[in-house]
Structure 1
Amino acid sequence: MRADVFTSDHEDFRHLVREFVAKEVVPHYAEWEEAGRLPRSFFERLGSLGLLGMAVPEDYGGGGQADYRYNVVLQEEAARALVTLGTVRTQLDVVLPYFLAYADREQRARWFPGLASGTLLSAIAMTEPGTGSDLAGIRTTAVRDGDTYVLNGAKTFITGGLLADLVIVVARTGSDPQDRRAGLTLLVVEDGMPGFTRGRVLDKMGIKVQDTVELAFDDVRVPVANRLGEEGRAFTYLGHNLPQERMTVAVGSVAQSRAALETTLDYVRQRKVFGTTVAAFQNTKFELAAVAAEVEAAQAMLDQAVLALVGGSLSGADAAKVKLFCTEVQARTVDRCLQLFGGYGYMLEYPIARLYADARITRIYAGTSEVMKVIIAKSLGL
């Protein structure tokens, strides 16, 4: 029932990714979860195969294919193998678009080759303690002093911040009492800049392979040459990329829902209780039938949104609808599937337990479900 989303080029790419994940990710995944991060060498391996630089212009060592569907394929194939590549997803779908859209020629020459090759890792630092989704409430400040900005503040919940060589920091460079959104600027802080420190690695209940850290900036002097775009325009820039960021969460939610359904089908066909397979019980059939119908509906909604995003017509409200619906479907799917595993579903040796724990964050990051409802309500004139 899937829409005609992908071309033969995307399917060729899918074959490459499927083989890569099977050989280079699955055998090491438990080790990476234990370490709480993906190793730098993994990013370099991705870069050598061209998987990180698909959207980077060819002049800088990339593939010149700014087609979001390649990112969708990467997520789908990771989920199919019952793994997640959260930090990779963040770098490609959330951070890289800012560099592509707002880096000037000098910045492109300086950063793009490393971003494409996997030798430069990136993160974006928006969230602060006490602000959450209220980006207009950002307190981190950057004061212009000649050809530098003096940056002070703290950020939290920063995905990929532990290994990042380049961190795009959202800072306040000015204020307007009439407009809280005005005066925000994007500054690229580089690893090793004096005053830039990484705090503790946060201990999360899920997505263990994705490092999440606190960052602090104490009189960090950031060259004006490291500013992305114009001073004071960051809120507009952030709003421009949020639909794709939310779509990225939705893509993962549907792909992981499918993975939960498939691994549960395999389990109930083999597991026997009371002398018969779990699959033979009517309750099992009804539960999985309902799950399959919901996942199919989410996939249909998502596919149309992916095509709209690629075509440049996806609105912020529609992206919010997709994220809200797909993440809620994911929550119901993994919960119902885990139930059919019985006690084994609570054991981390079974992938359904990891899928369950990983799913909880999708209704929170990139804007909570409540924020999505506010956005949708506004689009309805409410």
Structure 2
Amino acid sequence: MVSTMAINKDDSRSFLREEHLLFKQSIREFLAKEAVPFYDQWENEGGIPCSFWKKIGDNGFLCPWLDVEFGGLGADFGYSVVLAEELEMVGSVLGGISIHSDVVAPYIATFGTIDQKQRYLPKFITGEMISAFAFTEPGMGSEIADIQTTAIKKDGYYIVNGAKTFVINGFTADFMIVACKTDLNAVSSQDGISLLLIDKDTPGFSRGRKLGNAGLGNSDSAELFFDDALVPVGNLLGEEGKGLSYIMQKLQQEKLMCAIGSLIAAKDMLHLTMNFIKGQKAFNKKISKFKNAQFTIAEIATDIQLGRTFVDGLICKHMTGENIITEVSMAKYWITEMSKRISEKCMQLHDGYGYMEDDKITRRHRDIPLSKFFTGTDETVKILIAKNIGF
């Protein structure tokens, strides 16, 4: 069952206004009715049903930041934060909705042609079209230069060959942005990368198995295959060879979204653990009265508060358009590591009950480590930080 916390505790967050809190209340009530009762079933079945995407779209919760001309609310990034946090409070499997709404859609809104925007964005908002971003490949490291999927232009098409893996939303996606090499003779191995918009009915495109992994249970993560897939040249996103530049421009928000999700997961684990130990006894004494338990809870709460203060400051800066990629990288690295550390402490306080497969604390412990690999491993993030501070 989803844990809840009083919304008024968030009132003091500097970027939240009354309209954000009303949005928060609406999405929370919607999820309590339409997601929480079915979450266990969705995990067992391996993903969110298309019917739920339609419901969340019909209620106006997807891509609220998009312009009114495409069906959005023209809202600020604060709405995206609220949406991501409320989804994560229910469970990490719902994170694919934030990827659709605040990772994939911004690429099209920023770099797409008018035709591409009109073709995709209205359906993104209604939930009629589910999207994914296909970047990672089998055996691929963290370097974008390792991309082996190719797209060769011929007779008005890009002929795409290669494979992608660990694509969130990949099994049900109607459409995906795919990173490909369009210039095999580029001087730099990182040049010649382009982004293509590929629909599910593209000739030569197929999906592999739905991937089970150590995190996110049976989430909608899949392998994608391209065997001489024919993609019209009009499906090029932006300019040819600018894919790496586009990815770097969007990396700040993606890393920030990752930090936000990890922080909420840690906060939820604290809430679950506090509720659990208040009702448990050892040696005829409530566990919550033991000094060690109190010390551990105090340490976790302090880490979370420090993380929340840091992230909220970055959210405000991001909303004003500041370049904070270094700070956001720090937040992504530190908070995902902190959340993993907190999950271990919370599992310890749950004792054997923390290893019951159907218990939410177990799922949190299972899911949290996977966030460390989103938008780059710790090592690549640290290299970026070191480089940006002049080392």
| TM-score, with length taken from structure 2 | 0.94
Which of these residues, 151, 164, 179, is aligned with residue 170 of structure 1?
Answer: 179
Q: List aligned pairs for 1:1-382, cutoff 5 A.
A: 3-65=13-75, 67-81=76-90, 84-176=93-185, 178-208=187-217, 210-382=219-391
Relative to structure 1, the CA distance from residue 148 to residue 133 in structure 2 (aligned partners, 3 Å threshold; closer, same or farther) is same
1:241-284 Cα shifts (integer Å, max 9, x gaps):
11111111100111111110011111111111211211010100
Following the alignment from structure 1 to structure 2, what is the Cα–Cα distance between the partners of residues 343 and 358?
18
Query: Matched residues in 2 for 1:120 and 1:12: separation?
Result: 26
Residue 209 (structure 1) shift: 5.3
Q: Distance in 1 between matches of 2:121 and 2:95?
A: 21
Q: CA deviation at 1:181?
A: 1.6
1:126-168 C-alpha deviation (Å, 9 max, x unpaired): 1111223211221111111122111111111111011111111
- Measured after TM superposition, the shift of residue 82 of structure 1 is 5.1
In the alignment, structure 2 segments of 5+ residues that lack a partner are 1-9
CA contact (8 A) 1:36 1:211 kept: yes
Check the 8 A contact 1:198/1:216 in 2, yes or no: yes
How far residue 10 of structure 1 moved from its aligned partner, in angstroms, is 0.7
C-alpha distance in 1 between matches for 2:152 and 2:90? 47
> How much has 1:25 moved relative to structure 2?
0.6
- The offset of 1:77, in angstroms, is 2.0
Shift in alpha-carbon separation, 1:298–1:86, aligned structure 2, 3 A: same
- Residue type of the alignment partner of 1:324: Y
DSSP-derived class of the 1:235 partner: helix
Q: Is the 8 A contact 1:187 1:227 kept in 2?
A: yes
Distance 2:81 2:343 in 1: 21
CA contact (8 A) 2:43 2:93 kept: no
Q: Which moved more, 1:76-85 or 1:46-55?
A: 76-85
Question: 3-state DSSP class of the match of 1:144?
Answer: strand
What letter is aligned with 2:200? D
Deviation at 1:176, TM superposition (A): 4.8
Question: Aligned-residue CA RMSD in angstroms?
Answer: 1.4
Q: Distance in 2 between matches of 1:31 and 1:260?
A: 21
Note closer, same or farther for the CA distance 1:107–1:169 as it changes in structure 2 (3 Å cut): same
Indicate the percent of aligned positions where both proteins have the same amino acid.
35
Question: CA 1:81–1:277 in 2, change beyond 3 Å: closer, same or farther?
Answer: farther
Q: What displacement does 1:332 show?
A: 1.2
Tell me by how many angstroms 1:308 deviates. 1.2
Counterpart-to-counterpart distance in 2, 1:84 and 1:71: 17
| TM-aligned CA deviation for residue 295 of structure 1 | 0.6
Describe the shift of the 1:177–1:98 C-alpha distance in structure 2 as closer, same or farther (beyond 3 A). Answer: closer
Alignment check: 8 A CA contact 1:53 1:117 kept: no
Q: CA deviation at 1:12?
A: 0.7
Q: Distance in 1 between matches of 2:159 and 2:185?
A: 20
In the alignment, the residues of structure 2 paired with residue 148 and residue 90 of structure 1 have an alpha-carbon distance, to the nearest angstrom, of: 28
- Matching residue's letter, 1:222: V
What SS does the corresponding residue of 1:115 show, helix, strand or coil? helix
CA contact (8 A) 1:29 1:83 kept: no
Deviation at 1:348, TM superposition (A): 2.1
* Structure 1 unaligned regions, length at least 5: none
Q: Which amino acid aligns with 1:161?
A: G
Contact 1:55-1:63 at 8 Å conserved across structures: yes
- Confirm or deny: 8 A CA contact 1:53 1:62 kept in the other structure: yes
Instruction: Look up the SS of the partner of 2:375 in the other structure.
Output: coil
Task: Give the distance between the partners of 1:265 and 1:192, measured in 2 at CA.
Answer: 49
Whether the 8 Å contact between 2:87 and 2:95 is mirrored in structure 1 is no
SS of equivalent residue, structure 2 residue 35 = helix
Report the Cα offset of residue 349 of structure 1: 2.6
What is the CA–CA distance in structure 2 between the aligned matches of 1:57 and 1:80, rounded to whole Å?
Answer: 27
Q: CA deviation at 1:205?
A: 1.6
Cα–Cα, structure 1 residues 84 and 191, in superposed 2: closer, same or farther, change >3 Å?
A: closer
Q: Measure, in 2, the Cα distance between the counterparts of 1:209 and 1:24.
A: 19
Report the CA distance between 1:175 and its aligned residue.
3.8
Letter in 2 for 1:33: E
Deviations 1:48-85 (A, max 9, x none): 011113122211222222x2221211222234345651
Amino acid at match of 1:370: E
How far, CA to CA, are the matches of 1:21 and 1:296 in structure 2? 25
